[in-house]
Structure 1
Amino acid sequence: MLKALNPLSKLVACAVWLAASILVFDARFQIALIVVIAAVLVALNRTSPLLLLALMVPFCLFGMGFLTTSLLFRQESEFASRMAGEALFSTSALSAGLTLFLRALACGMISAFFTLTTDPGAFIRALMVHARLPPRIGYSLFAALQLVPDLASEAQQMRFARAMKAGRRLRRVPGPGEIVGLVIPLLAFAVRRAGRTAIALEARGLSPRGPRTVMNAPGFAGADVIFLVAALGVLGLCAAAVLAFR
């Protein structure tokens, strides 16, 4: 159901939620955002909870930097100190650090919502049709989307060839030395593909002028309006609940 929505509608909703998570310095508000988005992804998008936990690991590490900085250096701004005194925790440094930690998680969860429910190709086509994205940029992004899986396949073939040449089994996880040895060949492969793509685009007369037809471009429907109203309504309810229990 979420994947059928227009990507631009989800982009607007996610942008509003991101702005709210940044502007509202309250740990309970950040927790509410995290819980609501996680519940929507699990219930409506059938996303595995383990996948969500794995996606949040980088944001947890990023948030830990805020938390440790707040605890060790204890140099909050006047606004952060004032808001921390009204939060759930008595120590202002701990309260401010946990709020920043939860803010990083909330931003990561909002980003994961958009990523897991949006097809990249549909998003690019929507930008080209409704947001006037230049065709050169749009088709370059399409080429990049095709290059990424080909790059992974090329790297796997190189690893197989080197393992057969060395007479050993292929390691499941490449070591640091193997990764360094793959950098230059993969870079050369990417440069060759980029050159061929540029020539193909020029040969097909890709220019910024003239009419252009974009097939399978997602349009707007009543479901997008309902989604935006529901997203803004839930965000308002979260903010009202935090204000009511302060």
Structure 2
Amino acid sequence: MLGRVHPLPKLVFCLLWIAASLAIFDLRFQIGSLALAAGLLVTTERVRPATVLALAVPFALFGFGFLSTSLLFDRETGFAVQMAREQALARPDAAPGLVLFFRALACGMVSALFALTTDAGALVRALMAQARLPASIGYALLQAMHLVPDVAREAQAMRMARAMRRGRAPGRIPTPWEVGALAVPLLAYAIRRAGRAATAMEARGFRPGAPRTFLRAPPPARGDWAFCAGALGLLAAAAAACAMR
């Protein structure tokens, strides 16, 4: 469902959602944002709950210091107390460290929602076609997105070739010696690919201000803006409810 929404309206909505989480220092709003983002991933995008939990681990580790200080030691850090005092929409009925912990989880899950429901190539093409992103930067990003998996496949092919020469199967995790031995060939491969990409971009005539057409970059439809407007209305209603309580 969310994968069919145009990337630009969805990007605007997710950025405003994260901004609301940063502006509203309310535990219920943070938990609601976290639950909504995780629920959308599980129900509409069919992401496994275990995958959602794995995605939340880095953000939980980021906020674990505030959580442990607040719950285990029954004290608050100076940063958490200062954030609670300076926030315009702050609720004093929850520990500041707990709010910061769930804020990190909520912002991280909203970011994961956008990343898992948006095609990176479509986003870059939309930024070039509708947001006036320079074509040189856009095509450089597209080349980087293609280069990273190609380098990984080339590294695996080199490992297989070296294993066949030695007469034994390669391990699942390369050893430090193997990583060092593959560094120079992979660097040469990346430089060769970068040179070809630079030649191709030069042949396309990436001059600033020149007229350009884009393939597979349709403008946002009315349904995309209507969906994001409805979602923003729901977000504004939740923010107003938290401010009035």
Gaps of 5+ in 2: none
- 1:104 matches 2:107: no
- Aligned equivalent of 1:76, options 57, 76, 79: 79
Which range moved further: 105-114 or 37-46? 37-46
Cα RMSD for the two superposed structures: 2.4
Query: Could you say which residue in structure 2 is the equivalent of 1:7?
Result: 7
Identity over aligned pairs, percent = 53
Output one character per residue of 1:18-75: Cα deviation in whole Å (capped at 9) or x when no partner: 1011111122211100101111222222222222112222112222244456667732
Deviates more, 1:105-114 or 1:197-206: 197-206
Q: Is the 8 A contact 1:37 1:110 kept in 2?
A: yes
TM-score in terms of structure 1 length: 0.86
C-alpha displacement at 1:197, in angstroms?
A: 0.7
Contact 1:33 1:238 in 2 (8 A): no
> Within 5 A, what are the aligned runs for 1:4-153?
4-68=4-68, 74-76=77-79, 79-82=82-85, 86-88=92-94, 95-153=95-153
Counterparts of 1:218 and 1:38, CA distance in 2:
29
Q: What is the rounded CA distance, in whole Å, between the counterparts of 1:47 and 1:85 in structure 2?
A: 33
Deviates more, 1:235-244 or 1:146-155: 235-244
Name the amino acid aligned to 2:77: R
Contact 1:18 / 1:110 at 8 angstroms: preserved in 2? Answer: yes
Alpha-carbon distance change, 199 to 99 in structure 1, aligned in 2, over 3 angstroms: same
- Quote the Cα distance in structure 1 between the aligned partners of 2:13 and 2:57: 24
Q: Quick one: distance in 2 between partners of 1:142 and 1:81?
A: 41
Structure 1 184/57 Cα, relative in aligned 2: closer, same or farther at 3 Å? farther
Structure 2 residue aligned with 1:91: none
Aligned residues: 239
Confirm or deny: 8 A CA contact 2:126 2:218 kept in the other structure: yes
| Distance across 2 between alignment mates of 1:181 and 1:103 | 43
Residue 215 of structure 1 is matched in structure 2 by 215
C-alpha distance in 2, partners of 1:127/1:133?
A: 5
- Amino acid in structure 2 at the alignment position of 1:7: P
What's the TM-score, normalizing by structure 2? Answer: 0.86
- Structure 2 vs 1, CA of residues 238 and 195 (structure 1 numbering), >3 Å: closer, same or farther? same
